[in-house]
Structure 1
Amino acid sequence: MSGTVKKLFSHLRMDLGPLRSSRDFRLLFGSGLIGMFGSFLSMIVLPLQMKDLTGDYVAVGLMALAEFVPMVVCGLWGGAIADALDRRTIVLWTEVGLMLSIGALLVNALLPDPQIWVLYTMGALTAGLGSLQRPSLESLMPQVVPHDQLAAAAAISSFRWNLGAIVSPALAGVIFAVYGAATAYAVNIATYLISLALLWMIRARPPAEDTAPASIKTMIEGVRYAVGRKDLMGTYLVDIAAMIFAFSTALYPFIADHFGGPQTTGLLMSASAVGSLIASVTSGWTGRVHRHGLGVIVAATVWGVAVVLAALMPSLWLLLACLALAGAADMISGIFRATIWNQTIPNELRGRLAGIELLSYMTGPMLGNARAGFMASSLGGWRVSLGAGGALCVLAVVALAAKLPSFRTYDARTDEHALREKARRAADQPVTA
């Protein structure tokens, strides 16, 4: 029995191979871990400071609107320049820009009368710089991790994100409540300095000599490539459908009122992150999966079913368990989607496709919350909205699976794009030590 248990544990245990084999991945992981805390500091403190200064719901809500347009524009352009320039250089300069924007927020917070327009301007700037940086960061991973360890690298990166999503917001709230906005921004600047030191040590990743400069034409080329590959479109469309129909954090304040009051909101917000963290810690088995498209379909279906079950639960703890299951399923879907992207997309297009990926997983939750609020208002409350959304998610995923056979049958062992990239990377003999 002990041998069976050990074997099961070895299959579930997170594969740390990328951290052992790749120096640059270790540096990226360390930078991301520090940077995650800093990012959550500004993400949490900005609306809190706006609330303190204005006491206005609309003023706080408009911050998200101010950040949306820069996110979309810079996400697409960030993908184009990631394929045209040295990705490490882009990451470094955008990191400097982010640090300077937080510096402006620090100066503003130290003023006797902090200016609201500074919060809007710097919030939009940080959103734009973050979206400009993200494609370069995402497209660095296939360059620093061996081809057969990409699934493990995606799981490790997801673990880092989920750990930050659970711990960082609580710490950010405490720092703001006890020491104020200025101290929170100062700590954020310190995290950027550490992150910059780690990123500086990563090897340069210049593009090929014949790479075309970034332009609207190259952006369109990236979109055409994505549209021309139905397996890639499946990763985007299934995730967008799952988020639009079953993402419902806008309902959490109303669910909290039903189960004891506002203090319950934090439990609801963290439940899915806890499930995601557990899924990433026990993700060792994902490295043995080759049918990643089918894996995404199954995981997205489980996500929808878990949301339906959450709507039916009579007690808070059962509802939280369902949300945790949903978070775990979403994490597995994310690992498999990232594996398809990193295993099959040519290096010269990886940045532009990362920009498209950024938009796909950022817009879905925004639209999902709008859908959840509308359905709850017009159809009879949060349970109806939550349950109907989960059911629609399942139906949409099944329909997309039927319409996209190349996505449903994707197999990394036989897919032409995966095999070509594997052969190319083997020929390039990337440095992983």
Structure 2
Amino acid sequence: MPGVQSGLRRVAVDTRPLRVPAYRRLLLGQGVSFIGFQLTSVAVSAQVYDITGSSLWVGLLGPANLIPLVVFGLWGGAVADAVDRRRLLLWGSLVAWTATLALLVHAWTDMRNVYLVLAIVAVQSTGFAITSPVRGAIIPRLVPAERVAAANTLNFLVSSVGTVLGPLLAGIVLAKHGYTMAYLIDVLLFGAGFYAAARLPRLRPLGEISRPGLRSVVDGLRYIAGQPIVMMSFVVDIIAMAFAMPRALYPQIAAERFGGSAIAFGWLSASLAIGAVVAGLLSGWVGRVRRQGMALTVVIALWGLTVAGAAFAQPLWLIVALLAVGGAIDLVSAVWRQTILQTYAPDEMRGRMQGVFMVVVAGGPRIGDLRAGATASAFGLVPAWAGGGLLCAVIVVATGLAVPAFRRYDAVAERLKR
């Protein structure tokens, strides 16, 4: 019926950015390679827990990722504003691929050296820190401004599909073939992302070019500090991830409640992304929300409450379902935050803004990993998990409502002004 079809079009994901061939190749290549990246992420967590038997060591994967993300994410964003973004994407991808090869060799030789694993993860994080802000800065150059929100939604949707398939594949591969096969699959899947980057057009910087370095990074941070809306888009995400991200506790809950089942661990690792995929497929309404600052405050509070509820659930299906709701909320939040940055900042600042965005998006969960692992070691699994979610909800509401510019931000009015 026409009414039903019209309603479905309003809520279904907007696929119009796929009409741009370069964006379509980039999206599909990223999607395939991201399955391997997530497979490796799950395998590394399981391997570290297998070597040490400690959630604290799993939590230490957080700072091993975070330090390179901060240093090279900020630097990579500054470089992305000064050089051909296609070339930088290729070089960063090679760094990440080399690290995955090193994980493969470590597992194949059965070294079981947790310090070496942490060092390799830091190198892999360096490659990710370079490539992630470049991809974000590229999108507004490939698609029209009015399609940026839809393109971001597709990006997060494809990444979420990878975050579902990667952990579920990891559960099967680790149960049947072990860590070596997991890393080998990642090495092979990586080729799709590299091919897509190689096929991009040349993307030289527009506007005023700042020489990459400390001064350029400081200029970007100064810009953020002077823009309350941009600043708050980072702050609310840090609150969400640092306090409520439970993933460092997945190996422990799989061991304590589900007998160490690799399949259960895979489902737990995929749960957030399952919800994000569903939300992405029904995301046609997301770009039409105008009061995005207030909306972000509300959805992040709901994220914290949902994560807290999952800590008390006992059946695996219920934990997965609650975390999936949290993942759906997180996707909506991520789209709004990314779109604010890409449309609010000028092109000559986009690389640096995406560098900071990547540091926050990827670094926040690493801080959350460390917090979760440390508090679980000190107070137990449920207090660490549920307490973080409840604190997230309280703090984000108090913070979001305290900044009038963020609370009143109107995305449509802002776009018309510019």
Normalising by the smaller structure, the TM-score range is 0.7 to 0.9
Aligned counterparts of 1:420 and 1:51: Cα–Cα separation in 2: 52
1:127 maps to 125
1:78 aligns with 2:72: no
3-state DSSP class of the match of 1:329? helix
TM-score, normalised with respect to structure 2: 0.87
C-alpha separation in 1, matches of 2:35 and 2:321: 26
Shift of 1:339: 1.3
TM-score scaled to structure 1, two decimals?
0.84
Match of 1:431 in 2: none
Quick one: which amino acid aligns to residue 150 of structure 2? Answer: A
- Return closer, same or farther for 1:373/1:286 CA change in 2, 3 Å cut-off: same
Q: Which residue of 1 aligns with 2:135?
A: 137
Paired residue for 1:147? 145
Counterpart CA distance in 1 for 2:369 and 2:121 is 21
**Pair 1:198 & 2:166 matched:** no
The 1-side partners of 2:285 and 2:304 are apart by: 22
Equivalent residue letter for 2:8: F
Query: Is 1:359 matched with 2:359?
Result: yes
Matched, 1:17 2:16: yes
1:130-279 matches, within 5 Å, as 130-175=128-173, 178-179=176-177, 181-208=179-206, 210-252=208-250, 255-256=253-254, 259-263=257-261, 264-279=264-279
- Mark the runs of 5 or more structure 2 residues left unpaired by the alignment: none
Question: SS of the residue aligned with 1:195?
Answer: helix
The whole-number CA distance in structure 1 between the counterparts of 2:320 and 2:131 is 34
Aligned equivalents of 1:109 and 1:259: distance in 2? 27
Correspondence for 2:292: 292
Q: Which moved more, 1:256-265 or 1:199-208?
A: 256-265
Q: How far did residue 272 of structure 1 move?
A: 2.2
Q: Distance in 2 between matches of 1:326 and 1:176?
A: 26
The one-letter code of the counterpart of 1:83 is: D
Quote how far apart the aligned CAs of 1:352 are.
0.8
Per the alignment, residue 340 of structure 1 pairs with 340
Q: Deviations over 1:250-306 (max 9, x none)?
A: 444555567554334444333222111111111011122222222212211221232
Distance 1:63 1:297 in 2: 29
110-119 or 80-89, which deviates more: 110-119
Paired residues for 1:31-70 under 5 Å? 31-46=29-44, 57=54, 64-70=62-68
Deviation by residue 1:219-253 (Cα, 9 ceiling, x = unmatched): 00000101110001111111111222322234445
The alignment covers a number of residue pairs equal to 415
Question: Matches of 2:10 and 2:276 in 1, distance apart?
Answer: 18
CA contact (8 A) 2:304 2:392 kept: yes
Secondary structure of residue in 1 paired with 2:14: coil
Cα distance in structure 2, aligned partners of 1:148 and 1:121: 42
Q: Does residue 285 of structure 2 align to residue 280 of structure 1?
A: no
Conservation of the 8 A alpha-carbon contact between 2:169 and 2:266: no
| TM-fit CA distance, 1:178 | 4.5
User: Could you say what secondary structure the match of 1:206 adopts?
Assistant: coil
In the superposition, relative to structure 1, how do residues 360 and 102 fare at CA in structure 2: closer, same or farther (>3 Å)?
Answer: closer
- Residue identity opposite 1:234 in structure 2: M
Measure the CA separation in 2 of the matches of 1:347 and 1:166. 33
8 Å contact kept, 1:82–1:351? yes
For the structure 1 residues 178 and 251, does the alpha-carbon distance in structure 2 shift closer, same or farther, using more than 3 Å as the test? closer
Secondary structure, aligned partner of 1:84 = coil
Residues 408, 59 of structure 1: alpha-carbon distance in 2 compared, 3 angstrom cutoff: closer
CA-CA distance at 1:374 after TM superposition? 5.5
Larger radius of gyration: 1
Distance in 1, Cα, partners of 2:374 & 2:107: 37
- SS of corresponding position for 2:413: coil
- One-letter amino acid matched to 1:206: R
**Displacement over 6 Å in runs of 4+:** 58-61, 112-117
Percent identity over paired residues: 33
> Conserved in 2, the CA contact under 8 Å of 1:67 and 1:124?
yes
> How far apart are the structure 2 equivalents of 1:411 and 1:193?
41
Aligned partner of 2:294: which letter? L
Which residue identity does 1:356 align to in structure 2?
A: V
Structure 2 SS opposite 1:414: helix
**Aligned residues: CA RMSD:** 3.1
Q: CA deviation at 1:377?
A: 6.2
* Higher mean C-alpha deviation, range 369-378 or range 356-365: 369-378
- The one-letter code sitting in structure 2 at the alignment partner of 1:297 is T
Say which SS state the counterpart of residue 37 (structure 2) adopts. Answer: helix
Contact 1:105 1:118 in 2 (8 A): no
| 366 and 62 in structure 1: CA distance in 2 versus 1, 3 angstrom threshold | closer
Shift of 1:331: 1.2
SS at match of 2:411: coil
CA distance in 1, matches of 2:273, 2:100: 26
Question: Which protein, 1 or 2, shows the higher relative CO under an 8 Å CA cutoff with sep ≥ 6?
Answer: 2
Report how far residue 191 of structure 1 moved: 2.6
Give deviations 1:322-348, integer Å, cap 9, x for gaps.
322222111111111111111111111
| CA 189–271 in structure 1, closer or farther in 2 if over 3 Å, else same | closer
Deviation of 1:398 (Å): 1.7
Q: 1:394: which partner in 2?
A: 393
- 1:244 maps to a residue whose letter is A
| Closer, same or farther: CA 413–13 of 1 in aligned 2, 3 Å | same
d(CA) in 2 for partners of 1:378, 1:51: 17
